[in-house]
Amino acid sequence: MGSKTKNRLVDALYLALAIVPFLLAMTLKVLTAPATEGVSITGAMIFFTVDMPIQAWPVTEAQVNSLAVMLSMLGLCLYLTHGLQVVPGSKRQLIAEWIVDKVTSLVQNSMGERFMGFVPFIAAILGLSALSSLSSLLGLFPPTSDLNIVAGWAILVFILITYYKLQGGLWPYVKGFFTPVPLFAPMNVLGEVATPVSMSFRHYGNVLSGVIISALVGTALKGLSNMLLGWLPGVLGQFPFLQIGLPAILSLYFDIFSGCMQAFIFAMLTMLNIALGFPEEDYERRQAKKRQKASLQKA
C-alpha cells in the first residue's frame, strides 16, 4: 500500500469519525422518538437509567448528542491536522492554521500573554458550544438547550476562575469578600456564586428560547395555512404553503447566528472572568517572597 493510499484511508477514517456520530444520533432519534401531534415542546428524552449509590442516573438525549458532538470534533480535528507540513500544502491545513491564529489572537487580546495556554481550552469551548447548537439543523435535540449540560461547563469554568483567584493566596481571596466593608460579605459571596449560574442560564435560555419560538411559529403557520388554503382540492388543501420561507429564516437566526453568538459570548465570559479575577499584584508579591525564601535557604 502506497503512502498516498494510506493517507487517503486515514483521512477517510477521520472523516467517518466526524460524520458517523451524528448519523447514529439521528438514527437513534428516528427509532426512539414518540409520535406527536401539534406542538410538542419537551426536554431531552430519557433513554434509560443507571442505578447509582445516591440516586439513579438518567441517560438522556442531551448527553448522547453531546457525546456525538465531542466525537465529531475529535474526528474533525484529526482530519484537519493530519499530514501537517512546514509549508502548508493543503486547504485543510490552511483552515486549521486560520482557526489556531484566530483563537490565539482572541485569547491574547482578551486575557494577555500570561494566559496563552488557554488557547486549546477556549477553542474547545467555542467548537463544542457552536456544534452543539448547530446540531438542531440535523433534527437533533441541541445539548445547549439542556441546562444540565451548560451548567456542567459553567461549573468547570467557575473552578478555573476560583483556582486563579487563589493564586494570590488564600487570605487575600477571603479578604476580598469583606471589601469595601464587612457588611458586604453576604452580597460578595452571592456575587461569586452567581457567576456560574448566570453563565449557564444565559446560554441555556437563549438557545432554548430559539427552539421554542421556531416550533411555535412553524405550528402556527401550518394551522394558518390549513385555515386559509384548506379549500384547495386534494393534497393542495393540506400542504402547508405558509410554512415555506419564514421557518427557514428563523432557523438561520436562532440555529446558526444565535447559536454561534452564544458560543462566542460564553467563551468571552470565560476569558474575562479568569483574567480579571487573577490577582496580579498579590501573585507577584507572593512569588517574590518565595524567591526570597529560596535564595535565603541556598545561602
**299 Cβ partners below 8 Å, 6+ apart?**
none
What are phi and psi for residue 92, nearest 5 degrees?
-65, -35
33 pLDDT above the threshold of 80:
no
- pLDDT score recorded for residue 44: 79
Nearest Cα neighbor of 221 from 208, 240, 204, 248 is 240
Distance separating alpha carbons of residues 74 and 78, to the nearest angstrom: 6
- pLDDT score recorded for residue 140: 87
More confident residue, 177 or 238: 177
Per-residue model confidence as pLDDT tens digits over 277-286: 898 888 888 8
Across 169-177, average pLDDT: 86
Per-residue model confidence as pLDDT tens digits over 208-239: 777 777 777 777 777 777 777 666 666 666 66
Distance separating alpha carbons of residues 239 and 30, to the nearest angstrom: 23
- pLDDT score recorded for residue 128: 94
Contact 262, 129 (CB under 8 A): yes
- Bridge partners for 46 per DSSP: 60
What are phi and psi for residue 43, nearest 5 degrees?
-80, -165
Distance separating alpha carbons of residues 236 and 95, to the nearest angstrom: 46
- pLDDT score recorded for residue 235: 62
- pLDDT score recorded for residue 52: 86
- pLDDT confidence of 107, banded at 50, 70, 90? very high
Distance separating alpha carbons of residues 96 and 84, to the nearest angstrom: 10
Can you read off the three cell numbers belonging to residue 231? Answer: 379549500
Distance separating alpha carbons of residues 208 and 216, to the nearest angstrom: 12
- Bridge partners for 58 per DSSP: 49
The pLDDT mean for the chain works out to 85
241 pLDDT above the threshold of 70:
no
Q: In whole angstroms, how far apart are CA 149 and each of 47, 65, 162?
A: 16, 11, 20
Per-residue model confidence as pLDDT tens digits over 43-83: 778 888 988 888 888 889 999 999 999 999 999 999 999 88
- pLDDT score recorded for residue 115: 93
More confident residue, 33 or 52: 52
What are phi and psi for residue 80, nearest 5 degrees?
-70, -30
